[in-house]
Protein backbone atom coordinates (compact mmCIF):
# COMPACT_ATOMS: atom_id res chain seq x y z
CA UNK A 1 0.00 0.00 0.00
CA UNK A 2 1.72 3.08 -1.26
CA UNK A 3 -0.15 5.91 -2.90
CA UNK A 4 2.85 8.07 -3.72
CA UNK A 5 4.11 9.12 -7.10
CA UNK A 6 7.63 8.05 -7.95
CA UNK A 7 10.27 10.55 -9.03
CA UNK A 8 9.56 10.04 -12.73
CA UNK A 9 5.87 10.57 -12.19
CA UNK A 10 6.50 13.77 -10.25
CA UNK A 11 8.70 14.98 -13.07
CA UNK A 12 6.12 14.02 -15.68
CA UNK A 13 3.49 15.94 -13.75
CA UNK A 14 5.64 19.07 -13.62
CA UNK A 15 6.70 18.81 -17.26
CA UNK A 16 3.16 18.22 -18.46
CA UNK A 17 1.76 21.09 -16.41
CA UNK A 18 4.38 23.44 -17.76
CA UNK A 19 3.97 22.31 -21.36
CA UNK A 20 0.18 22.46 -21.38
CA UNK A 21 0.04 25.83 -19.63
CA UNK A 22 2.24 27.30 -22.33
CA UNK A 23 0.81 25.38 -25.28
CA UNK A 24 -2.85 25.73 -24.33
CA UNK A 25 -3.55 29.11 -22.81
CA UNK A 26 -7.28 29.64 -22.55
CA UNK A 27 -7.45 31.72 -25.73
CA UNK A 28 -6.10 28.72 -27.65
CA UNK A 29 -8.63 26.42 -25.95
CA UNK A 30 -11.39 28.82 -26.98
CA UNK A 31 -10.13 29.03 -30.56
CA UNK A 32 -10.22 25.24 -30.82
CA UNK A 33 -13.82 25.25 -29.63
CA UNK A 34 -14.87 27.37 -32.57
CA UNK A 35 -12.45 26.09 -35.19
CA UNK A 36 -13.54 23.38 -37.60
CA UNK A 37 -10.68 21.00 -36.87
CA UNK A 38 -10.85 21.40 -33.10
CA UNK A 39 -7.19 20.77 -32.56
CA UNK A 40 -3.81 21.99 -33.68
CA UNK A 41 -1.81 19.64 -35.86
CA UNK A 42 1.35 21.34 -34.75
CA UNK A 43 0.71 20.90 -31.04
CA UNK A 44 -0.43 17.33 -31.66
CA UNK A 45 2.92 16.59 -33.28
CA UNK A 46 4.70 18.17 -30.36
CA UNK A 47 2.85 15.88 -27.98
CA UNK A 48 4.00 12.97 -30.13
CA UNK A 49 7.59 14.19 -29.90
CA UNK A 50 7.32 14.30 -26.14
CA UNK A 51 6.26 10.66 -26.29
CA UNK A 52 2.85 11.40 -24.85
CA UNK A 53 0.70 10.07 -27.67
CA UNK A 54 2.10 6.59 -27.45
CA UNK A 55 2.91 6.60 -23.78
CA UNK A 56 0.76 3.60 -22.93
CA UNK A 57 1.43 1.68 -26.14
CA UNK A 58 3.93 -1.19 -25.80
CA UNK A 59 7.48 -0.40 -26.86
CA UNK A 60 7.53 -3.05 -29.57
CA UNK A 61 4.77 -1.11 -31.33
CA UNK A 62 6.48 2.23 -31.09
CA UNK A 63 5.12 3.34 -27.74
CA UNK A 64 6.56 4.09 -24.32
CA UNK A 65 5.23 1.06 -22.40
CA UNK A 66 4.39 3.40 -19.56
CA UNK A 67 2.76 2.33 -16.36
CA UNK A 68 -0.96 3.14 -16.36
CA UNK A 69 -0.35 5.40 -13.37
CA UNK A 70 1.92 7.58 -15.55
CA UNK A 71 -0.99 8.03 -17.93
CA UNK A 72 -3.26 8.88 -15.03
CA UNK A 73 -0.84 11.66 -14.09
CA UNK A 74 -0.69 12.90 -17.69
CA UNK A 75 -4.48 12.93 -17.99
CA UNK A 76 -4.94 14.83 -14.76
CA UNK A 77 -2.84 17.55 -16.36
CA UNK A 78 -4.69 17.30 -19.66
CA UNK A 79 -7.95 17.77 -17.77
CA UNK A 80 -6.53 20.71 -15.86
CA UNK A 81 -5.45 22.48 -19.05
CA UNK A 82 -8.55 21.39 -21.02
CA UNK A 83 -6.31 20.10 -23.81
CA UNK A 84 -8.61 19.70 -26.81
CA UNK A 85 -8.21 17.32 -29.71
CA UNK A 86 -8.28 13.67 -30.71
CA UNK A 87 -5.47 12.52 -28.38
CA UNK A 88 -7.86 10.66 -26.11
CA UNK A 89 -10.03 8.94 -28.69
CA UNK A 90 -7.07 8.00 -30.87
CA UNK A 91 -4.18 7.18 -28.56
CA UNK A 92 -6.13 5.88 -25.59
CA UNK A 93 -9.47 4.51 -26.74
CA UNK A 94 -8.57 3.21 -30.20
CA UNK A 95 -5.05 2.15 -29.28
CA UNK A 96 -6.45 0.08 -26.39
CA UNK A 97 -8.95 -1.61 -28.68
CA UNK A 98 -6.27 -2.47 -31.23
CA UNK A 99 -4.01 -3.72 -28.45
CA UNK A 100 -6.81 -5.86 -27.07
CA UNK A 101 -8.25 -7.25 -30.31
CA UNK A 102 -5.72 -6.74 -33.06
CA UNK A 103 -3.66 -9.46 -34.69
CA UNK A 104 0.10 -9.16 -34.39
CA UNK A 105 0.10 -7.83 -37.95
CA UNK A 106 -2.54 -5.19 -37.19
CA UNK A 107 -0.75 -4.07 -34.07
CA UNK A 108 2.55 -3.73 -35.92
CA UNK A 109 0.89 -1.74 -38.66
CA UNK A 110 -1.43 0.50 -36.74
CA UNK A 111 -0.06 1.24 -33.28
CA UNK A 112 3.18 2.95 -34.38
CA UNK A 113 1.14 5.31 -36.54
CA UNK A 114 -1.00 6.24 -33.56
CA UNK A 115 1.92 6.91 -31.27
CA UNK A 116 3.77 8.97 -33.87
CA UNK A 117 0.66 11.03 -34.44
CA UNK A 118 0.87 10.19 -38.11
CA UNK A 119 -2.62 8.73 -38.14
CA UNK A 120 -5.67 9.59 -36.11
CA UNK A 121 -8.23 6.98 -35.18
CA UNK A 122 -11.72 7.33 -33.82
CA UNK A 123 -14.37 5.04 -32.46
CA UNK A 124 -17.82 4.99 -34.08
CA UNK A 125 -20.03 3.28 -31.54
CA UNK A 126 -23.18 5.20 -30.68
CA UNK A 127 -26.24 5.44 -32.88
CA UNK A 128 -29.52 7.31 -33.02
CA UNK A 129 -30.89 5.58 -29.95
CA UNK A 130 -28.07 7.10 -27.93
CA UNK A 131 -27.54 4.10 -25.66
CA UNK A 132 -24.17 2.95 -24.37
CA UNK A 133 -24.95 -0.76 -24.32
CA UNK A 134 -24.71 -3.57 -26.85
CA UNK A 135 -28.42 -3.42 -27.57
CA UNK A 136 -27.98 0.02 -29.10
CA UNK A 137 -25.57 -1.27 -31.73
CA UNK A 138 -27.65 -1.94 -34.84
CA UNK A 139 -25.65 -0.69 -37.82
CA UNK A 140 -25.26 -3.67 -40.14
CA UNK A 141 -22.07 -4.75 -41.88
CA UNK A 142 -22.86 -7.20 -44.67
CA UNK A 143 -20.22 -9.59 -45.95
CA UNK A 144 -19.85 -9.30 -49.75
CA UNK A 145 -16.98 -11.24 -51.22
CA UNK A 146 -13.76 -9.94 -49.73
CA UNK A 147 -15.50 -6.93 -48.19
CA UNK A 148 -17.92 -5.83 -45.56
CA UNK A 149 -20.41 -3.20 -46.61
CA UNK A 150 -21.65 -0.75 -43.99
CA UNK A 151 -24.73 1.43 -44.19
CA UNK A 152 -26.29 3.57 -41.53
CA UNK A 153 -25.66 6.42 -39.16
CA UNK A 154 -23.18 6.63 -36.31
CA UNK A 155 -23.51 9.52 -33.90
CA UNK A 156 -21.31 11.34 -31.41
CA UNK A 157 -18.17 10.16 -33.16
CA UNK A 158 -15.28 12.20 -31.73
CA UNK A 159 -12.96 13.95 -34.20
CA UNK A 160 -13.92 11.62 -37.04
CA UNK A 161 -13.69 14.58 -39.44
CA UNK A 162 -9.93 14.72 -38.86
CA UNK A 163 -9.47 10.97 -38.48
CA UNK A 164 -7.76 8.63 -40.90
CA UNK A 165 -9.49 5.50 -39.63
CA UNK A 166 -12.63 4.66 -37.77
CA UNK A 167 -13.17 1.62 -35.64
CA UNK A 168 -16.85 0.92 -36.32
CA UNK A 169 -18.86 -1.11 -33.86
CA UNK A 170 -21.23 -3.01 -36.12
CA UNK A 171 -23.78 -5.76 -36.11
CA UNK A 172 -22.79 -8.77 -38.18
CA UNK A 173 -25.30 -11.12 -36.67
CA UNK A 174 -27.84 -11.71 -33.94
CA UNK A 175 -27.77 -14.27 -31.19
CA UNK A 176 -29.16 -15.25 -27.84
CA UNK A 177 -27.87 -12.15 -26.13
CA UNK A 178 -27.60 -8.61 -27.44
CA UNK A 179 -23.83 -8.95 -27.27
CA UNK A 180 -23.82 -11.76 -29.83
CA UNK A 181 -23.25 -10.56 -33.35
CA UNK A 182 -21.20 -7.49 -32.59
CA UNK A 183 -17.97 -7.01 -34.53
CA UNK A 184 -15.36 -4.29 -34.85
CA UNK A 185 -14.35 -3.12 -38.27
CA UNK A 186 -11.59 -0.79 -39.27
CA UNK A 187 -12.85 1.64 -41.89
CA UNK A 188 -11.00 4.29 -43.87
CA UNK A 189 -12.46 7.50 -42.52
CA UNK A 190 -12.31 9.06 -45.95
CA UNK A 191 -13.67 6.09 -47.89
CA UNK A 192 -16.24 6.77 -50.57
CA UNK A 193 -19.73 6.89 -49.10
CA UNK A 194 -18.73 8.41 -45.75
CA UNK A 195 -19.94 11.84 -44.72
CA UNK A 196 -18.92 13.56 -41.49
CA UNK A 197 -21.34 16.21 -40.29
CA UNK A 198 -20.25 18.20 -37.27
CA UNK A 199 -22.50 18.31 -34.21
CA UNK A 200 -22.54 21.54 -32.26
CA UNK A 201 -21.89 20.50 -28.66
CA UNK A 202 -22.04 21.95 -25.18
CA UNK A 203 -18.26 21.91 -24.68
CA UNK A 204 -17.17 22.70 -28.21
CA UNK A 205 -15.33 19.40 -28.47
CA UNK A 206 -15.73 17.89 -31.92
CA UNK A 207 -18.25 15.15 -32.45
CA UNK A 208 -19.87 14.13 -35.67
CA UNK A 209 -22.74 12.47 -37.29
CA UNK A 210 -21.13 9.90 -39.56
CA UNK A 211 -23.29 8.73 -42.42
CA UNK A 212 -22.15 5.50 -44.03
CA UNK A 213 -23.65 4.83 -47.43
CA UNK A 214 -22.58 1.40 -48.69
CA UNK A 215 -19.08 1.93 -47.40
CA UNK A 216 -16.77 -0.95 -48.23
CA UNK A 217 -14.01 -2.18 -46.02
CA UNK A 218 -11.88 -5.28 -46.71
CA UNK A 219 -12.70 -8.30 -44.54
CA UNK A 220 -9.09 -8.33 -43.30
CA UNK A 221 -9.96 -5.10 -41.47
CA UNK A 222 -11.93 -7.08 -38.94
CA UNK A 223 -10.57 -6.35 -35.44
CA UNK A 224 -11.07 -9.24 -33.07
CA UNK A 225 -13.43 -12.18 -33.53
CA UNK A 226 -16.43 -11.93 -35.82
CA UNK A 227 -19.69 -11.60 -33.89
CA UNK A 228 -17.99 -11.79 -30.52
CA UNK A 229 -16.16 -8.54 -29.98
CA UNK A 230 -18.38 -6.76 -27.50
CA UNK A 231 -16.56 -8.26 -24.53
CA UNK A 232 -13.23 -7.22 -26.03
CA UNK A 233 -14.49 -3.71 -26.52
CA UNK A 234 -15.68 -3.64 -22.91
CA UNK A 235 -12.30 -4.77 -21.63
CA UNK A 236 -10.43 -2.34 -23.83
CA UNK A 237 -12.55 0.56 -22.63
CA UNK A 238 -11.75 0.00 -18.97
CA UNK A 239 -8.44 1.79 -19.26
CA UNK A 240 -10.03 4.64 -21.18
CA UNK A 241 -12.71 5.05 -18.53
CA UNK A 242 -10.10 5.32 -15.80
CA UNK A 243 -8.10 7.88 -17.74
CA UNK A 244 -11.17 9.92 -18.40
CA UNK A 245 -11.74 9.95 -14.66
CA UNK A 246 -8.22 11.31 -14.25
CA UNK A 247 -9.04 14.01 -16.77
CA UNK A 248 -12.12 14.95 -14.75
CA UNK A 249 -10.18 15.00 -11.49
CA UNK A 250 -7.62 17.37 -13.04
CA UNK A 251 -10.33 19.69 -14.32
CA UNK A 252 -12.22 19.69 -11.04
CA UNK A 253 -9.03 20.43 -9.13
CA UNK A 254 -8.39 23.49 -11.28
CA UNK A 255 -11.98 24.71 -10.93
CA UNK A 256 -11.63 24.38 -7.16
CA UNK A 257 -8.41 26.38 -7.20
CA UNK A 258 -10.06 29.13 -9.21
CA UNK A 259 -12.94 29.35 -6.76
CA UNK A 260 -10.73 29.34 -3.67
CA UNK A 261 -8.37 31.97 -5.06
CA UNK A 262 -11.31 34.19 -5.94
CA UNK A 263 -12.91 33.73 -2.51
CA UNK A 264 -9.70 34.86 -0.84
CA UNK A 265 -9.40 37.97 -2.94
CA UNK A 266 -12.95 39.15 -3.60
CA UNK A 267 -14.06 41.64 -0.95
CA UNK A 268 -17.73 42.24 -0.10
CA UNK A 269 -19.21 43.64 3.10
CA UNK A 270 -15.71 44.76 3.97
CA UNK A 271 -14.05 41.33 4.01
CA UNK A 272 -12.92 38.62 1.65
CA UNK A 273 -15.95 36.46 0.91
CA UNK A 274 -13.82 33.40 1.74
CA UNK A 275 -14.29 34.07 5.44
CA UNK A 276 -18.05 33.62 5.23
CA UNK A 277 -19.09 30.11 6.35
CA UNK A 278 -21.53 29.78 3.46
CA UNK A 279 -18.69 30.29 0.98
CA UNK A 280 -16.30 28.10 2.97
CA UNK A 281 -18.90 25.39 2.95
CA UNK A 282 -19.15 25.39 -0.83
CA UNK A 283 -15.38 25.20 -1.21
CA UNK A 284 -14.85 22.65 1.57
CA UNK A 285 -17.40 20.29 0.01
CA UNK A 286 -15.35 20.23 -3.18
CA UNK A 287 -12.47 18.57 -1.35
CA UNK A 288 -13.96 15.18 -0.43
CA UNK A 289 -15.60 15.06 -3.86
CA UNK A 290 -12.34 15.61 -5.73
CA UNK A 291 -10.11 13.61 -3.42
CA UNK A 292 -12.63 10.77 -3.36
CA UNK A 293 -12.69 10.73 -7.15
CA UNK A 294 -8.90 10.87 -7.30
CA UNK A 295 -8.21 7.99 -4.94
CA UNK A 296 -10.94 5.83 -6.40
CA UNK A 297 -9.40 6.45 -9.82
CA UNK A 298 -5.99 5.50 -8.48
CA UNK A 299 -7.44 2.34 -6.99
CA UNK A 300 -9.04 1.35 -10.29
CA UNK A 301 -5.86 2.18 -12.20
CA UNK A 302 -3.71 0.09 -9.86
CA UNK A 303 -6.04 -2.89 -10.18
CA UNK A 304 -6.06 -2.68 -13.98
CA UNK A 305 -2.31 -2.27 -14.08
CA UNK A 306 -1.87 -5.25 -11.78
CA UNK A 307 -3.70 -7.46 -14.24
CA UNK A 308 -7.37 -7.47 -13.33
CA UNK A 309 -9.31 -7.47 -16.58
CA UNK A 310 -12.62 -6.07 -15.42
CA UNK A 311 -12.46 -3.68 -12.54
CA UNK A 312 -15.69 -2.65 -10.87
CA UNK A 313 -13.88 0.31 -9.36
CA UNK A 314 -13.48 1.77 -12.87
CA UNK A 315 -17.26 2.08 -13.17
CA UNK A 316 -17.48 3.39 -9.63
CA UNK A 317 -14.85 5.99 -10.41
CA UNK A 318 -16.58 7.15 -13.58
CA UNK A 319 -19.89 7.59 -11.79
CA UNK A 320 -18.32 9.34 -8.82
CA UNK A 321 -15.85 11.53 -10.73
CA UNK A 322 -18.58 12.70 -13.11
CA UNK A 323 -20.68 13.89 -10.20
CA UNK A 324 -17.64 15.39 -8.49
CA UNK A 325 -16.60 17.42 -11.52
CA UNK A 326 -20.14 18.63 -12.00
CA UNK A 327 -20.68 19.58 -8.36
CA UNK A 328 -17.29 21.27 -8.12
CA UNK A 329 -17.83 23.44 -11.16
CA UNK A 330 -21.38 24.32 -10.22
CA UNK A 331 -20.14 25.13 -6.70
CA UNK A 332 -17.44 27.32 -8.21
CA UNK A 333 -20.14 29.18 -10.12
CA UNK A 334 -21.84 29.97 -6.83
CA UNK A 335 -18.61 31.42 -5.50
CA UNK A 336 -18.02 33.54 -8.61
CA UNK A 337 -21.69 34.46 -9.08
CA UNK A 338 -22.22 36.65 -12.13
CA UNK A 339 -18.54 36.98 -12.92
CA UNK A 340 -18.17 33.26 -13.64
CA UNK A 341 -21.26 33.28 -15.81
CA UNK A 342 -19.68 35.70 -18.25
CA UNK A 343 -18.38 34.06 -21.36
CA UNK A 344 -15.00 35.73 -21.05
CA UNK A 345 -14.37 34.01 -17.71
CA UNK A 346 -12.60 30.65 -17.88
CA UNK A 347 -14.88 28.88 -15.40
CA UNK A 348 -17.53 28.23 -18.04
CA UNK A 349 -15.00 26.15 -19.99
CA UNK A 350 -14.75 23.76 -17.04
CA UNK A 351 -18.46 23.68 -16.33
CA UNK A 352 -19.25 22.78 -19.92
CA UNK A 353 -16.43 20.28 -20.19
CA UNK A 354 -17.63 18.53 -17.03
CA UNK A 355 -20.92 17.68 -18.71
CA UNK A 356 -19.27 16.53 -21.95
CA UNK A 357 -16.91 14.20 -20.09
CA UNK A 358 -19.75 12.91 -17.95
CA UNK A 359 -21.61 11.84 -21.09
CA UNK A 360 -18.64 10.30 -22.87
CA UNK A 361 -17.97 6.57 -22.39
CA UNK A 362 -21.07 6.08 -20.29
CA UNK A 363 -22.98 8.51 -18.08
CA UNK A 364 -23.55 8.20 -14.35
CA UNK A 365 -26.61 6.00 -14.75
CA UNK A 366 -24.83 3.64 -17.07
CA UNK A 367 -21.88 3.16 -14.75
CA UNK A 368 -23.99 2.77 -11.64
CA UNK A 369 -25.83 0.01 -13.49
CA UNK A 370 -22.52 -1.59 -14.37
CA UNK A 371 -21.71 -1.66 -10.66
CA UNK A 372 -25.08 -3.31 -10.04
CA UNK A 373 -24.36 -5.89 -12.74
CA UNK A 374 -22.39 -7.86 -10.12
CA UNK A 375 -25.74 -9.05 -8.78
CA UNK A 376 -26.72 -10.70 -12.03
CA UNK A 377 -29.18 -9.37 -14.53
CA UNK A 378 -32.31 -11.38 -13.79
CA UNK A 379 -35.22 -9.00 -13.93
CA UNK A 380 -32.86 -6.20 -13.19
CA UNK A 381 -33.64 -4.20 -16.27
CA UNK A 382 -29.98 -3.77 -17.14
Partner 1 sequence: MDIRFTEQQEKWKREVIEFLEKEMTPEFLEELEQGDHATFSAFSLPFSKKLAARGWLGLAWPKEYGGQDRSYIDHAIFREQMGYFMAPTGAHQLAVDMIGPALIRYGTEEQKKWWLPRIVKGEVTFCQGFTEPEAGSDLGSLRTRAEPVGNEYVINGEKAFSSGAHHSDYMYLATRTDPTAPKHKGISIFLVSTSSPGVTIVPMRTMNHGRVNQVYLDNVHVPAENMMGEKNKGWGLLMGALGVERSGVEVAAFRRRIFDELVAYAKETRRDGRLLIEDPIIRYRLAEWEINIEVAKMLCWRVVWMRSKGETPSAETTVQSLFDRVSEHTFFNFAMEILGLYGQLRRESKYARLFGLIERRYLKSCAITGAGAIPDISRTTIAVRGLGMPRERIAVS
For position 44 contacting partner 1 by CB under 8 A, the verdict is: no
Cβ nearer to partner 1, comparing 189 with 316: 316
For position 302 contacting partner 1 by CB under 8 A, the verdict is: yes
Cβ-based neighbours of 364, under 8 Å, separated by 6 or more? 318, 319, 322, 323, 358
Among 2, 7, 42, 104, binds partner 1 (CB under 8 A): 2
- Determine the Cα–Cα distance for residues 305 and 313; give it in Å rounded to an integer: 13
Among 195, 271, 337, 342, binds partner 1 (CB under 8 A): 271
For position 131 contacting partner 1 by CB under 8 A, the verdict is: no
H helices of 35-171, where?
41-49, 68-81, 87, 95-101, 104-116
For position 263 contacting partner 1 by CB under 8 A, the verdict is: yes
Cβ-based neighbours of 81, under 8 Å, separated by 6 or more? 17, 20, 21, 24, 29, 250
Nearest to 124 by CA among 208, 57, 44, 198: 208
CB 304 within 8 A of CB 314: yes
Strands 165-171 and 121-124, sheet pairing: parallel
Distance of closest approach, residue 307 Cβ to partner 1, in angstroms: 11
Distance of closest approach, residue 10 Cβ to partner 1, in angstroms: 12
Distance of closest approach, residue 333 Cβ to partner 1, in angstroms: 17
For position 4 contacting partner 1 by CB under 8 A, the verdict is: yes
- Determine the Cα–Cα distance for residues 245 and 243; give it in Å rounded to an integer: 5
For position 295 contacting partner 1 by CB under 8 A, the verdict is: yes
Among 292, 308, 363, 366, binds partner 1 (CB under 8 A): 292
End-to-end CA distance of the chain: 35
Interface ranges with partner 1 (CB under 8 A) = 1-6, 9, 69, 260, 263-264, 271-272, 274-277, 279-281, 283-285, 287-288, 291-293, 295-296, 298-299, 301-303, 306, 313, 316, 319-320, 368-369, 371-372, 375-376, 378-381
Amino acid sequence: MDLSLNENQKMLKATARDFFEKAYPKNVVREMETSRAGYSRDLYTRMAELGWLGMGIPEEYGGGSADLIDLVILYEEIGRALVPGPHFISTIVCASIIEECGTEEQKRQLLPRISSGESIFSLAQYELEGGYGARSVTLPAIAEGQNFVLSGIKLFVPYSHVADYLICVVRTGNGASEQDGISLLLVDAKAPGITHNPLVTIAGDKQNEVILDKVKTPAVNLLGPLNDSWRHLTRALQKSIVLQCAEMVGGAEKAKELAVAYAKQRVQFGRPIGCFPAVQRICADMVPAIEGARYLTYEAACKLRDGEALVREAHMAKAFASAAYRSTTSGAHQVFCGVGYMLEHELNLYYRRAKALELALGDVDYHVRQVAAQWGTAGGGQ
